[in-house]
Amino acid sequence: MSDNSDNVIKCLDKGFVRLVDSMGGDNAIVQAARVSYGKGTSKLSQDRGLIRYLMRHRHSTPFEMVEFKFHCKMPIFVARQWVRHRTANINEYSLRYSEARDEFYYPDPKHIQFQSALNKQGRMGEVTPELKQKVQDYFKEISERSFEIYSELNQAGIARELARSILPVNLYTEWYWKNDLHNLLHFIGLRSDSHAQYEIRVFSDAMAESVKSVAPFAWEAYQDYIIKGMRFSRIEQSLLERTLPDRVIDDINEDIAYQLTATLHSNKPREETDLYPLYIKEGGVDSEEDFKLKWDSGEIEIGNVRELREFKLKLESLKN
Ligand SMILES: Cc1cc2nc3c(=O)[nH]c(=O)nc-3n(C[C@H](O)[C@H](O)[C@H](O)COP(=O)(O)OP(=O)(O)OC[C@H]3O[C@@H](n4cnc5c(N)ncnc54)[C@H](O)[C@@H]3O)c2cc1C
């Protein structure tokens, strides 16, 4: 466990996300995965390759070995969305036990927009300064007035568990929220997405910073394969199968043959004379002369052997 008591990221006007503790990191994912895949070697680059393999193949349980515990403060309406993520352990500030504090969310003028005409769950368009002012005034008026009544009821001895229900959902609450990396990435994938509400996105983006520093390889793999990766439905795939000319697939495969050769050579350097035969073995079809020209250009990207071979199989499956 590592103590991260100074790790506070401010969110919205009065909220924050603070990483309290984390357990494990990329190393914990690799350690758990090697129970299933054997010890092998453990060079840093191989750890990265293993993590990327696990993410690509949605082998998710090793990612559950890494834990994060956050202390967060957010408006209640944000917490309402947040608790939908059921795999976390939560302990929240109790308004049955303690009195509410006079802390309400007041949106920044630049985030006051009209209801989106395109997306029923979104906002868009520039609101006039007068209307923005009115929105801000109403937020303030209702928050201050409800808090006055709440305080009056408290002073009159009314039960806190009942008096609290007069307070609006822009009141701030706090909790400890603990989750594992697999489910935290799932949360961030949904809540840092542009379709998520701005107010929860801010908190999700703040938690993403912790993931980036605690498990950088896992974060990178999540971006590459889940967030920026593309999946095709059966219908889309059959459209590709029917209309993608085989020569296009062959052209891509040719590039893959070069990349495989360069990657294998970089992993384990070969004699100059062994390069062309290696390229042919990996499916290349260019003449030796053309191969040399391209090889000497130095413009061949290096990738991951297993990933390139998997890509090749996917492409082949699209051929008629
Ligand atoms: C942009 C956006 C708009 C949304 N709009 C609405 C809305 O209008 N109305 C609304 O009600 N919700 C809405 N939601 C919430 C959404 O439907 C999910 O409840 C929320 O995103 C949590 O997702 P989850 O269930 O995958 O996550 P988690 O609860 O964290 O679960 C993670 C995964 O664990 C598994 N899991 C967890 N618990 C169970 C279980 N009991 N049984 C089976 N599998 C389980 C599932 O595979 C799940 O994907 C919205 C969410 C987003 C991001």
Q: What is the pLDDT of residues 282-313, one digit of tens each?
A: 999 999 999 999 999 989 999 999 999 999 99
Model pTM above 0.85: yes
Q: Does the residue 103 lie in any domain?
A: no
* pLDDT confidence tier of residue 36, bands split at 50, 70 and 90: confident
The first and second tokens of residue 193, run together, are: 């997405």
Mutate to test the pocket of ligand 1, among 64, 77, 86, 226 (most ligand atoms within 8 A of CB): 86
Phi, psi of 10 (to 5 degrees): -70, 140
Contacts of 182 (CB under 8 A, 6+ apart): 60, 61, 63, 64
Residues 218 and 276 in one domain: no
Nearest alpha carbon, ligand 1 atom 5: 121
Q: Does the residue 104 lie in any domain?
A: no
Q: For 5-30, what is the mean pLDDT?
A: 94
Instruction: Say if ligand 1 is within 6 A of residue 58 CB.
Output: no
Residues 147 and 238 in one domain: no
Q: State whether residue 161 is helix, strand or coil.
A: helix
Q: For 244-255, what is the mean pLDDT?
A: 94
Please state, in angstroms and rounded to a whole number, the distance separating the CA atoms of residues 106 and 136: 7
> pLDDT for 148-190, tens place per residue?
999 999 999 999 999 999 999 999 999 999 999 999 999 999 9
Q: Is the pLDDT of residue 5 over 60?
A: no
Sort strands 113-115 and 172-180 into parallel, antiparallel or unpaired.
Answer: unpaired
Please state, in angstroms and rounded to a whole number, the distance separating the CA atoms of residues 179 and 212: 15
Q: Please report, rounded to a whole number, the percentage of residues in the chain having pLDDT higher than 90.
A: 87
Instruction: Say if ligand 1 is within 6 A of residue 18 CB.
Output: no
Q: Does the residue 276 lie in any domain?
A: yes
Contacts of 30 (CB under 8 A, 6+ apart): 42, 47, 50, 51, 62
First CA to last CA across the chain, in angstroms? 54
Contact predicate 51/217, CB 8 Å: yes
Quote the crossing angle between the two packed helices 44-56 and 305-317, to the nearest 10°: 30
Q: Closest by alpha carbon to 205, among 216, 191, 194?
A: 191
Q: Does the residue 267 lie in any domain?
A: yes
The first and second tokens of residue 205, run together, are: 């983006």
Contact predicate 2/68, CB 8 Å: no
Residues 123 and 240 in one domain: no
Nearest atom (ligand 1) to Cα of 196: 1
Phi, psi of 270 (to 5 degrees): -105, 165
Q: How many domains does the chain have?
A: 3
Residues 91 and 207 in one domain: yes
Nearest alpha carbon, ligand 1 atom 28: 85
Using CB atoms within 10 A of its CB, is residue 33 exposed (0-12), middle (13-18) or buried (19+)? buried
Instruction: Say if ligand 1 is within 6 A of residue 183 CB.
Output: yes
Which ranges of 156-245 does DSSP label H, i.e. alpha helix? 160-163, 181-191, 198-214, 216-221, 234-243
Instruction: Say if ligand 1 is within 6 A of residue 197 CB.
Output: no
Instruction: Say if ligand 1 is within 6 A of residue 12 CB.
Output: no
Residues 48 and 117 in one domain: no
Q: Which amino acid is at 316?
A: E
Residues 157 and 176 in one domain: no
Residues 223 and 239 in one domain: no
Q: Which residue has the tokens 């920044």?
A: 108
Nearest atom (ligand 1) to Cα of 87: 30
Average pLDDT, rounded, for the chain? 93
Q: For 249-278, what is the mean pLDDT?
A: 96
* pLDDT confidence tier of residue 41, bands split at 50, 70 and 90: low
Q: Is the pLDDT of residue 145 over 70?
A: yes
The first and second tokens of residue 310, run together, are: 């998997």
Residues 221 and 90 in one domain: yes
Q: Which residue has the tokens 């007035």?
A: 145
Nearest alpha carbon, ligand 1 atom 38: 86
Q: Does the residue 283 lie in any domain?
A: yes
pLDDT of residue 305: 94
Q: Does the residue 84 lie in any domain?
A: yes
Instruction: Say if ligand 1 is within 6 A of residue 84 CB.
Output: yes
Residues 201 and 240 in one domain: no
Instruction: Say if ligand 1 is within 6 A of residue 218 CB.
Output: no
Rounded to the nearest angstrom, the gap between the alpha carbon of residue 44 and the centroid of all alpha carbons in its chain is: 23
Contacts of 34 (CB under 8 A, 6+ apart): 40, 42, 50
Q: Is the pLDDT of residue 128 over 80?
A: yes
Residues 72 and 144 in one domain: no
Q: Does the annotation count 86 as an active-site position? A: no
Nearest alpha carbon, ligand 1 atom 39: 86
Contacts of 128 (CB under 8 A, 6+ apart): none
Residues 21 and 93 in one domain: yes
Q: Is the pLDDT of residue 209 over 70?
A: yes
Domain boundary among the residues 192, 212, 227 is at: 227
Q: For 222-248, what is the mean pLDDT?
A: 94
Contact predicate 188/208, CB 8 Å: yes
Domain boundary among the residues 162, 181, 203 is at: 162
52, 191, 242, 247: which one is catalytic?
191
Q: Which amino acid is at 43?
A: K
Residues 125 and 180 in one domain: no
Q: Does the residue 265 lie in any domain?
A: yes
Q: Which domain does 39 fall in, by range?
A: 2-97+170-227
